[in-house]
């Protein structure tokens, strides 16, 4: 059940990087929701490769087709199946990888688990390409959420050691969201980040970063205590995005360095009589349940493990240590493309609570 | 299903801080596993309150009793139910909290979700006290894992701004684990941390911290891609521990500041012909699946929100802003007691994979 | 996860016939539902042994105690845990069964599955006694359903070859339900059935029967297509009652002997403008979804396998065929006591849809 | 989650009768299993329409295509997605059904549940056509089971009031299985059944029947007590086949008419020292767990509700009672085509236990 997520809304992601197709089956989505297919495609394009200088040169249209669940532009209440056919594959690029696992990729662990049967061409089912179906599911969920007044947006919080201006936790709003291919709030940060990425590309190296994501418009009282709270569910799905190695809510790891008197968020009634908190170090979630304040979380994306510089590895067929040089097309930094994936993941998780 | 976790091994946690009892029902645990009840009780005592200068003065024996699933010291294969009766309750301490939610507690979100019906005396089902059943389940799982050669241990990585010596990610072993009430590796750090806690107590304030946990002895090839991997499952359960606001695996957020060439973990054959990685920035998990290297993760624990200093809050009955002073017995720092909880949570998650 | 049922409402049943206690943990039940404890206890008494001439002479008060989830007579929204302590156990009665499995009991299959570790005294977790926790959960659900105008009732459809007057499928109503210890509609049938049971008891033999159960008051449109429909879910839980070997909805197996033109249920508008069907051969469910007509199903209960007459069996320790005489206290017919269990199971299943 | 089944092996069925495609996503299937595609297609052809005089004249090749999860004829361990494109649709046949629900179809209940948004052309997701993906998943599972020495077969137990020779419960074996388009053991029964079907077709009427299915080769000790036993799981999936209204195991409803001394299955050691039962009224399952004897169950299939004779219904748009004549292509008896579906369902359920 590895690639299935959710309870009330269940998504099943399928496909391999170099197989026939990738896609997702979405079970439990409500009937009668209007889908704007152009917007959905635009959302997927934010993740699609080949559109940007900072991404791989593999070009894929990533055109979503619907096999089921939609009629006359509306959801039917039946399972929705989205498919993206793989068109531009160059499996030969990966030919020398079969017995020599790439460092910090899933090649080795997959080899052990599947005993050599997995289709690992291009990373197989572990490929970052499999985030396209997550974006398809999430893109549909985002449209549904917006119809309910709930909005999800993100920015690049940092790339390498360069940081953007963070969201104002207590006041982040729709106006702070942008859907650029490279969404940052601080133009200087943008310039610096792009320089660093460009340099990494030249050196055959790669960079990671942090994505900050906010969910606004959710009422207080949504979620559950203990194992089925907002944080549990968002983290479960976000770790489904390859390369994510950490997640934190509100001021997260930073809160551990504060006193309680500094970190606590005091309540007050606002002018309309709504309960608010003056600060939002809790990131919109208390006891697994929404407080009505923006949900804010950050996901750590490790540097892309596909790099061109020579690395040490093992040859599983000969049983000897060996050197490895990875050819093929890689992103020097997948963070910009992962922004849409993080939003999509959050959207699916939130829909699983409110549907 | 908020308080139920797991697929093959399913735990259901129940109880409220000031109700009759707290406990856990464990479904799917294998038959014929010998349980050392003394060791289990000792494990729970690491979490129990009242034993240490840094913890609340509420004393609870936290004596685990078994209602089912065990016969003659062995598990039967049937659901195991552990109960801890609540003996030392002082509900009057919390009487003024009913309409005035404590900042950064779940009082407010529970009030909204349960519309006033929840038993929130002492934090109810959201209380840190509910980690005792998690420790009961986890303590049983830890014994099972040890019988399979799998060991889980932790230390206090940091409290406030004071840091312990971190685990050596690639080489952490059983010798690095200790089961002190206040487990740190660096004696200077211990002294400093205890001073800070003592000072916070005097000021009616509180401190948070980070716990670092390692799982060693797991073979490569365990786990799943995408949504049911090691990281997804551990994070889902760890966020079930109150006050956890972040989690990271391997070098986590720090990896985002490195180049791929620095962060990648090169493979090699060790003397016995096993595949190892020279470094372990991946924290033992690649593509959701174990690599055979130690699993290492860190959980961020926010400062205890229960503090004695005066705070701003709202009176939900009068609709007015008000001041709040919290009486009662609180931990100035729950991090030391949370160490066992994090180990327990990891043990339950790992058992759900290997049972 | 064998003893856990449900998605939105999750029940976990625990305990063994001769262990400390039996009970159930109920996760996901709504907050603020008033529970009438006397009524709940009376509901459990319908299932309790020792009250009737047709049941075992083992007397158990089956007194339900609440460990969690209830405050001041109302549910809190937190997991509800009900416990029934085992008081009247006579394990010695079962001593010769350990290596000689009783025919048509779970002794043999449990021995194989749990490799000798299961606590099979009195049938262990497989005992009919474990339906008491199902009745506790179901009794709570029944009260909730009644508050929503939904009623569940049953009668003994047949015992051995003696049949009661069946429910009028299209018109069964609350007036047709009775909560007798031996609920039948036809007094002649009652007399005959009791005679047959009395005779079986004298001969050390046993009888089975069929229970017919109806759910009324559910609106049309509840349920799901395919694997999560009303019939799927009710059948999944009803087969959790020991001795159930079949289930059918509407006119079930009889429908297979009719033409479509005879079996189809034609629609019409009733005087109030509601859509009804003239007949109810579909038993209130079409495509897994309620039609608004009464849900009617029948469960087949095999004759109690515990009989006093000598039987052939095997001695697993000696590897030889052997004869077996079962001592101890048994019901010659568990059908009357199973009536409440079937209602309870239906109530839990329905609550899992509408909560 | 209506169309998702399973825990370890998870299938998600999607599609509508007159949409783009129908299919299934299978998550959790083991890696390295060789698939014989020709055999799989032949298995699906047993269910396919248009091949037989007793079935609808809608011809569909029901050609299965794989989008993922298979490489070089072997499973990869990643989710397997099978798709069958819909080619021969005549939606106009169903045009007058939109506001006039067909008796004993899901038209009405779907209208209420999905508030008019469901794509109900041809029955939509409720159509018997959706059993093709179940057969695809089941056909793959059957091949896997056979590689483990486990075989599943069925026959038409009865059609209308005509009965075939039943399986010998204790001795049914692979030799008793046949894969005819119209599998019966008794040639006289075949002739009579075909006559009855032919007559029903002429009269625009329909017939139901019972399918008897056996699983042989499963070791003792597989399954679980209470809610996750063999009977619970098989019944949950079998009720996912449209028109199933009942299920029974072993001698099922008939056992309720016997004494315990008649119905109990005595144990003995056979010549090889294996524990067997002399009779198999328990149908291979005791306490939810396999006994090592053949699993035998029967599923009741109601007469196809699509008949050509005039029926009463309601016009939901006008709010008036009306007459309905259904045009289009229907099976006078779907029982023969449902045989493969029942086998497929059983195969998926068994795989969920043993994978």
Chain D residues with beta carbon closer than 8 angstroms to that of B225 = 78
- Mean pLDDT, chain A, rounded, equals 93
Give me the pLDDT at residue A70, please: 96
Q: Could you tell me the CA-to-CA distances from D340 to A241, C106, D43, D206, D345 in Å, in that order?
A: 39, 31, 7, 20, 9
Give yes or no for residue C87 having a pLDDT over 90. Answer: no
DSSP class of residue B342? H
pTM (global) more than 0.80 = yes
Lowest-pLDDT range of A85-99, A163-177, A328-342, C319-333: A85-99
Quote the radius of gyration of chain D (alpha carbons, Å).
21
According to DSSP, the residues that pair with A290 across neighbouring strands are A285
The predicted model gives C224-237 an average pLDDT of: 98
Task: Tell me which chains share at least 3 CB pairs under 8 Å with chain C.
Answer: A, B, D
Distance CA B11, CA B3 (A): 8
User: How are strands ordered across the β-sheet holding A4-5?
Assistant: A4-5, A10-15, A21-27, A80-85, A65-68
Q: Could you tell me the CA-to-CA distances from D325 to A211, B246, C242, C266, D328 in Å, in that order?
A: 60, 63, 46, 12, 10
Give me the pLDDT at residue A69, please: 97
Surface-to-core class of residue C92, CB atoms within 10 Å of its CB (0-12 exposed, 13-18 middle, 19+ buried): exposed
Lowest-pLDDT range of A30-39, B219-228, D322-331: D322-331
Give me the pLDDT at residue B292, please: 98
Phi, psi of C274 (to 5 degrees): -85, 145
Surface-to-core class of residue C59, CB atoms within 10 Å of its CB (0-12 exposed, 13-18 middle, 19+ buried): middle
Closest approach of B2 to chain C, Cα-based (Å): 7
pLDDT in tens, D66-77: 999 999 999 999
Q: Which helix (H) or strand (E) holds C25?
A: strand C21-27
Quickly state the pLDDT bin for A61 (edges 50, 70, 90): confident
Give me the pLDDT at residue C98, please: 75
DSSP class of residue B305? S
Q: In this prediction, what percent of chain D has a pLDDT beyond 70?
A: 94
The predicted model gives D296-318 an average pLDDT of: 96
Surface-to-core class of residue C334, CB atoms within 10 Å of its CB (0-12 exposed, 13-18 middle, 19+ buried): buried
Give the residue from C10, C25, C27 with the most A CB atoms within 10 Å of its CB, the best one to mutate.
Answer: C27
Chain D residues with beta carbon closer than 8 angstroms to that of A91 = none
Question: Taking Cα atoms as reference points, which of D110, D86, D56, D129 lies closest to residue D326?
Answer: D56
- Mean pLDDT, chain D, rounded, equals 93
Q: Which residues of A touch C (CB under 8 A)?
A: 7-8, 78, 225
Chain B residues with beta carbon closer than 8 angstroms to that of A290 = 109
Helices (H), C228-271: 230-238, 252-255, 260-263
Distance CA A96, CA B319 (A): 69
Task: Tell how far CA B261 is from the center of its chain.
Answer: 34
Distance CA D108, CA D319 (A): 13
Distance CA A45, CA A40 (A): 9
pLDDT in tens, B114-145: 988 988 888 999 999 999 999 999 999 999 99
Task: Tell how far CA C87 is from the center of its chain.
Answer: 23
**Are the beta carbons of B25 and C25 separated by less than 8 Å?**
yes
Q: Collapsing DSSP states into helix, strand and coil, what is residue A109? A: helix
Query: What are the E-state strand segments in chain C?
Result: 4-5, 10-15, 21-27, 65-68, 70-71, 74-75, 80-85, 151-159, 162-163, 209-216, 244-249, 267-269, 275-277, 285-286, 289-290, 295-301, 311-315, 320-324
Question: Taking Cα atoms as reference points, which of B8, A7, D351 lies closest to residue C6?
Answer: A7
Q: Which residue has the higher pLDDT, A221 or B48?
A: A221
Chain C residues with beta carbon closer than 8 angstroms to that of B66 = 20
Give yes or no for residue D57 having a pLDDT over 60. Answer: no
Give yes or no for residue A339 having a pLDDT over 90. Answer: yes
Sign for the CA dihedral angle at D277, D279, D280, D286 comes to negative
- Count residue pairs from A and C with Cβ separation < 8 A: 4
Question: Closest-CA residue in chain C for A223?
Answer: C28
Quickly state the pLDDT bin for A178 (edges 50, 70, 90): confident
Distance CA D329, CA B220 (A): 55
Give me the pLDDT at residue A141, please: 98
The helix/strand count (H/E) of chain D reads as 8, 18
Give the residue from D6, D13, D108, D109 with the most C CB atoms within 10 Å of its CB, the best one to mutate.
Answer: D109
D230-238 vs D335-354: helix crossing angle, rounded to 10: 140
The verdict on ipTM greater than 0.90 is yes
Sign for the CA dihedral angle at C301, C307, C310, C311 comes to positive
Give the residue from B6, B12, B27, B355 with the most D CB atoms within 10 Å of its CB, the best one to mutate.
Answer: B27
> HSE on the CB side for B18, CA within 13 Å?
16
Chain B residues with beta carbon closer than 8 angstroms to that of D225 = 78
Distance CA A204, CA A339 (A): 23
**Is the Cβ–Cβ distance between B123 and B109 less than 8 Å?**
no
**Is the Cβ–Cβ distance between A221 and B228 less than 8 Å?**
no
**Are the beta carbons of A3 and D83 separated by less than 8 Å?**
no
Give me the pLDDT at residue B329, please: 67
CB-nearest partner of C27 from B12, B66, B78: B12
Give the residue from D13, D119, D126 with the most A CB atoms within 10 Å of its CB, the best one to mutate.
Answer: D119
Distance CA A92, CA C144 (A): 63
Q: Collapsing DSSP states into helix, strand and coil, what is residue A84? A: strand
Question: Taking Cα atoms as reference points, which of B266, B251, B293 lies closest to residue A302?
Answer: B251
CB-nearest partner of B256 from A208, A258, A305: A208
**Are the beta carbons of A78 and C225 separated by less than 8 Å?**
yes
Give yes or no for residue A95 having a pLDDT over 60. Answer: no
Closest approach of B188 to chain D, Cα-based (Å): 49
Q: In this prediction, what percent of chain A has a pLDDT beyond 70?
A: 94
Closest approach of C320 to chain D, Cα-based (Å): 7
**Are the beta carbons of A112 and B300 separated by less than 8 Å?**
no
CB-nearest partner of D239 from C231, C263, C273: C231
Distance CA D353, CA D6 (A): 9
Give yes or no for residue A302 having a pLDDT over 80. Answer: yes
Chain B residues with beta carbon closer than 8 angstroms to that of C32 = 114-117
DSSP class of residue C53? T
Give yes or no for residue C80 having a pLDDT over 90. Answer: yes
Give me the pLDDT at residue C49, please: 77
Give the contacts of C36 (CB within 8 A, at least 6 positions apart). C143
Lowest-pLDDT range of A69-83, B169-183, B318-332, C276-290: B318-332
Give yes or no for residue A171 having a pLDDT over 90. Answer: yes
**Are the beta carbons of B117 and C80 separated by less than 8 Å?**
no
Distance CA C160, CA B138 (A): 49
**What DSSP string describes B12-44?**
EEEE-TTSSEEEEEEESPPTT-B--HHHHHHHH
Q: In this prediction, what percent of chain A has a pLDDT beyond 90?
A: 86
Joined tokens for residue A234:
């968002």
Give me the pLDDT at residue C48, please: 85
Surface-to-core class of residue A105, CB atoms within 10 Å of its CB (0-12 exposed, 13-18 middle, 19+ buried): buried
Question: Closest-CA residue in chain C for B114?
Answer: C31
Phi, psi of C95 (to 5 degrees): -60, -35
**Are the beta carbons of B78 and D7 separated by less than 8 Å?**
no
**Are the beta carbons of D27 and A67 separated by less than 8 Å?**
no
Distance CA A264, CA C69 (A): 29
D131-147 vs D335-354: helix crossing angle, rounded to 10: 50
CB-nearest partner of A263 from B224, B233, B302: B302
Give yes or no for residue C226 having a pLDDT over 60. Answer: yes
Q: Collapsing DSSP states into helix, strand and coil, what is residue B354? A: helix
The region that residue D224 occupies, defined by phi over 0 for left and psi between -120 and 50 for alpha, beta otherwise, is beta
Phi, psi of C206 (to 5 degrees): -145, 165
Q: Collapsing DSSP states into helix, strand and coil, what is residue A111? A: helix
Distance CA D166, CA D176 (A): 10
Give me the pLDDT at residue D62, please: 87
Q: Could you tell me the CA-to-CA distances from B253 to A94, A211, B257, B296 in Å, in that order?
A: 29, 11, 8, 13
Q: In this prediction, what percent of chain B has a pLDDT beyond 70?
A: 94
**Are the beta carbons of D78 and B225 separated by less than 8 Å?**
yes
**Are the beta carbons of B239 and A256 separated by less than 8 Å?**
no
Chain B residues with beta carbon closer than 8 angstroms to that of C8 = 1
Question: Taking Cα atoms as reference points, which of B268, B227, B225, B233 lies closest to residue B249?
Answer: B233
Joined tokens for residue C225:
């297509």
CB-nearest partner of A236 from B3, B224, B232: B232
Question: Closest-CA residue in chain C for B70?
Answer: C119
Give the residue from D1, D27, D221 with the most B CB atoms within 10 Å of its CB, the best one to mutate.
Answer: D27
pLDDT in tens, D75-133: 999 999 999 999 876 555 555 457 999 999 999 999 999 988 988 888 999 999 999 99
Closest approach of C134 to chain B, Cα-based (Å): 15
Closest approach of C72 to chain D, Cα-based (Å): 32
Task: Tell me which chains share at least 3 CB pairs under 8 Å with chain B.
Answer: A, C, D
pLDDT in tens, B146-169: 999 999 999 999 999 999 999 999
**Are the beta carbons of D225 and C267 separated by less than 8 Å?**
no
Closest approach of A324 to chain D, Cα-based (Å): 25
Joined tokens for residue C200:
């079986």
Chain A residues with beta carbon closer than 8 angstroms to that of B320 = 269
Distance CA C288, CA C229 (A): 4
Q: Which helix (H) or strand (E) holds D26?
A: strand D21-27
Q: Which helix (H) or strand (E) holds D290?
A: strand D289-290
Give the residue from A157, A204, A226 with the most B CB atoms within 10 Å of its CB, the best one to mutate.
Answer: A226
| B6-15 burial code (b ≥16 CB/10 A, e <16) | beebbbbbbb
**Is the Cβ–Cβ distance between C322 and C314 less than 8 Å?**
yes
**Are the beta carbons of D79 and A7 separated by less than 8 Å?**
no
**Are the beta carbons of B21 and C74 separated by less than 8 Å?**
no
Distance CA B333, CA B305 (A): 10
Give me the pLDDT at residue C90, please: 58
Question: Closest-CA residue in chain A for D71?
Answer: A119
**Are the beta carbons of A115 and D31 separated by less than 8 Å?**
yes
Q: Collapsing DSSP states into helix, strand and coil, what is residue C100? A: coil
């Amino acid at each position: 059940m590895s690639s299935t997520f959710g309870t009330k809304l269940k998504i099943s992601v399928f496909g391999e990087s170099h197989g026939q197709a990738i896609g997702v089956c979405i079970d439990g989505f409500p009937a009668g929701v209007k889908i704007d297919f152009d917007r959905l495609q635009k959302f997927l394009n934010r993740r699609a490769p080949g559109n940007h200088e900072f991404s791989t040169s593999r070009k894929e249209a990533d055109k979503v087709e619907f096999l089921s669940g939609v009629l006359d532009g509306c959801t039917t209440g039946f399972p929705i199946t989205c498919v993206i056919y793989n068109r531009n594959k160059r499996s030969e690029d990966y030919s020398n990888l079969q017995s020599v696992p790439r460092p910090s990729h899933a090649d080795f662990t997959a080899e052990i688990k599947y005993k050599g049967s997995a289709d690992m061409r291009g990373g197989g089912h572990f490929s970052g390409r499999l985030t396209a179906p997550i974006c398809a599911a999430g893109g549909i969920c985002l449209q549904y959420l917006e119809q309910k007044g709930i909005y999800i947006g993100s920015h690049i919080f940092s790339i390498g050691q360069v940081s953007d201006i963070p969201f104002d936790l207590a006041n982040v709003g729709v106006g702070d969201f942008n859907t650029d291919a490279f969404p940052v709030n601080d133009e200087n940060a943008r310039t610096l980040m792009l320089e660093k990425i460009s340099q990494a590309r030249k050196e055959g190296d790669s960079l990671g970063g942090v994505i900050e994501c906010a969910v606004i418009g959710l009422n207080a009282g949504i979620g559950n205590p203990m194992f089925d709270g907002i944080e549990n569910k968002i983290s479960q799905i976000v770790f489904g995005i390859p390369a994510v190695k950490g997640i934190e809510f509100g001021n997260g790891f930073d809160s551990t360095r504060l006193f309680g008197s500094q970190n606590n968020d005091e309540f007050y009634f606002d002018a309309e009589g709504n309960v608010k908190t003056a600060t939002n170090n809790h990131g919109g979630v208390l006891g697994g349940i929404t407080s009505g304040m923006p949900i804010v979380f950050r996901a750590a994306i490790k540097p892309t493990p596909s790099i061109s510089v020579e690395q040490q590895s093992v040859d599983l067929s000969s049983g000897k240590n060996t050197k490895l040089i990875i050819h093929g097309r890689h992103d020097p930094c997948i963070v910009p493309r992962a922004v849409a994936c993080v939003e999509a993941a959050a959207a699916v998780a939130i829909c699983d609570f409110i549907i």
